[in-house]
A and B are shown apart, each in its own frame.
Chain A
Amino acid sequence: MAGVDIGADSSKAVIVANGKLLSRHIIPSGGNYKLAADLALDAALQKAELSRGALAGIVATGGGAGNVTCANRTSSDIVCQGRGVSRLHPSVRTIIDVGDLSSKVSRIDQSGKTSAFLLSGKCAGGSARILQVIARVLQLKIEDIGPLSLTSQNPVQFNTQCAVFAETEAVSRIAEGLPKEDLLAGIHLALAAQLYTLAERIGIEQDCALIGGGAKDIGLVKAMQETAGHEFIVPLEPQIMAAYGAAIIAGEVVAKK
């Protein structure tokens, strides 16, 4: 079975057999979603040493799901990630997905079925995009900002929720001589506060999971834990949860036939 998740920033394909993950592949989506889908799927198949013919079912998800022409069906990414997370971590009841374009919070039951969800607006300040913006201002690689932020003793308080204004604030704080790690710790806390507020609106039930590209940032995970006052489960591969869930659904669809 295959699950393909075409997001605004990245496309993910996973190959699954009997619910077990065989392989995965993540690439930038670029401008051509159909191309991204094919590339991701074929690369994942290659890693699993399978051909397209070996697939009994393909489910597509994400904003660009309609571009996956080989898919048997599509399913919403919220539904898919609920199934995916639940399969790996059955205790989870609340999922916070920190994407590039927006963030999503959903509530699931013990079988991974979505009971409620809420989306942030398409605002860079409320998504992982703000981390990219600040990383660029500080001339750091995105994968480095998490670990660096953990070394801060004195997080900076950002006075804004807007990525553009935060960028200005960061520039003037740098000019004042503030250390980068303090700015990073501050921006992680600012984003965590917004995510937490979003989650509170539909009610937080533990256990909570953090997924999406943003969950790969250890600084954000720590900031979320500090803000919420409890731990967050971060799946080993937080970016592929929707694709994984899509593949599980593909298996169920085929089994029903």
Chain B
Amino acid sequence: MTESKVSCLQSEASCPQSEASCLQSEASCLQNEASFAHYFAGIDIGSTMTKAAIIHGGIVWSVIGPTGPEQRKLAGKVMQEALKKAGLSFEEISYLVATGYGRINVPFADKQITEISCHARGVNSIFPQARTIIDIGGQDVKGIRIDAKGKPVDFVMNDKCAAGTGRFLEVIAGALGIELDDLSKTAAASKKPARISSLCTVFAAQEVASRLSEGAPLSDLVAGIHQSVAERILRTVSRLSVEKEIVITGGGAKNGHLVKMLAERLGAAVLVPQEPLLTGAIGAAMLGKDRFHAAPAGQLQKRPRNWGEVTFFN
């Protein structure tokens, strides 16, 4: 599993850390002394990756692990890893919010909140000027319009067709025999992106593989693929009225060339969080914190938590 310790979310005035690693503006810093007494956790169980985040004041611990082929059964393990990194026991978490793909039942969470709300809250905490989120996930693509407070106001999604999702790039990488992480730099080397005629993942993979065997330059094909993905993503997202500032999140945001293609087509610079995979989990934890502080003393509803397996209902 990969893991990272995200830098502090506190404002400069009250934080000893350097400005360079601060993710948040002073204006949106919601930290006060009271919040340092509590730990809040969020877990975002995606179709491909599970992301756990624990926040304490402004500090965030996080773990990213695979959801696993048996779907969701590893979620508890990812949360436990995060607890270990933070040096905490489960009982020290004041409130845990779960979110993710599909309708899931997370026995160790206090509450489940939709991933739209969690992403919106998470992105808002990092970029308060954000008004549109493009989340490029492993198996879906989402567009979310949010307001100044980080509440979602509109939403579109493609989760029916693999084209335009992380899966498309995975399949193409496999068909061309290159690593997923090498796609971006391979594409960037091209001076003449190829035009890929197939929209469908299966047929596009066949097309690039046969063109490669006919002698087409690899970088041109990969660049062409990035253009296809960008166009496909924007076809979904354009159903919203896209407003600046635009933030790209999800695994796809880690592909620099894809982000560049999107920005070019949008005709605007786009923002990418330092940890684009964590906005859902961070947002979940922060929504948990909001609920916790908003509830009158002793009246916060919590479910009995247990480490049972995450299941999902249709």
The chain A residues found within 8 Å of chain B, CB to CB, are 31, 101, 121-125, 129, 133, 159-165, 168, 171-172, 175-176
Contacts and interface: CB of A to CB of B under 8 A. Distances in A.
Report the contact-size class of chain B (Cβ under 8 Å from the partner).
10 to 19
A183 to B, nearest CB: 15
Interface stretch (B37-45, B118-126, B194-202): B194-202
Given A162-B201, A164-B171, A164-B202, 18 more contacts: A31-B210, A31-B214, A121-B200, A122-B200, A123-B161, A124-B200, A125-B161, A133-B202, A160-B160, A161-B160, A162-B161, A162-B162, A165-B139, A165-B162, A165-B167, A172-B69, A175-B69, A176-B70
Contacts of B299: none
Interface string B141-178: 00000000000000000001110000110010000000
B70 A164 contact: no
A175 B73 CA distance: 13
Contacts of A172: 69-71
B90 interface: no
Interface string B86-117: 00000000000000000000000000000000
Contacts of A129: 202-203
A124 B203 contact: yes
Contacts of A163: 200-202
A107 to B, nearest CB: 26
Nearest to A100: B203
B314 interface: yes
A164 B199 CA distance: 13
A240 to B, nearest CB: 24
Interface of B: 69-71, 139, 160-162, 167-168, 171, 198-203, 210, 214, 314
A253 B255 CA distance: 57
Given A124-B200, A129-B202, A159 B314 contact: yes
Nearest to B210: A31
Which of the listed residues B162, B167, B210 has the most CB atoms from chain A within 10 Å of its own CB? B162
B198 A122 contact: yes
12 contacts: A121-B199, A123-B161, A124-B202, A161-B160, A162-B160, A163-B200, A163-B202, A164-B162, A165-B162, A165-B167, A172-B71, A176-B70
Contact of A124 (B139, B168, B201): B201
Contacts of B162: 162, 164-165
A164 B314 contact: no
A48 B89 CA distance: 81
A53 to B, nearest CB: 35
Contacts of A121: 199-200
A124 B71 CA distance: 24
A125 B161 CA distance: 9
Contacts of A133: 202
Contacts of B314: 159
A165 B71 CA distance: 13
A164 B167 contact: yes
A101 B160 contact: no
Q: Which 5 A-B pairs have the closest CB atoms?
A: A124-B202, A164-B162, A164-B201, A123-B200, A172-B69
Contacts of B200: 121-125, 163
Nearest to B68: A172
B228 to A, nearest CB: 13
Contacts of A164: 162, 167-168, 171, 201-202
B104 to A, nearest CB: 14
Contacts of B171: 164
A161 B40 CA distance: 38
B46 to A, nearest CB: 13
Contacts of B69: 171-172, 175
A229 B69 CA distance: 36
A105 B12 CA distance: 65
A168 B198 CA distance: 21
B301 to A, nearest CB: 32
Contacts of A159: 314
Contacts of A160: 160
A198 to B, nearest CB: 16
Question: Which one of B162, B198, B200 has the highest number of Cβ atoms from chain A below 10 Å of its Cβ?
Answer: B200
B224 to A, nearest CB: 17
Nearest to B140: A165
A175 B70 contact: yes
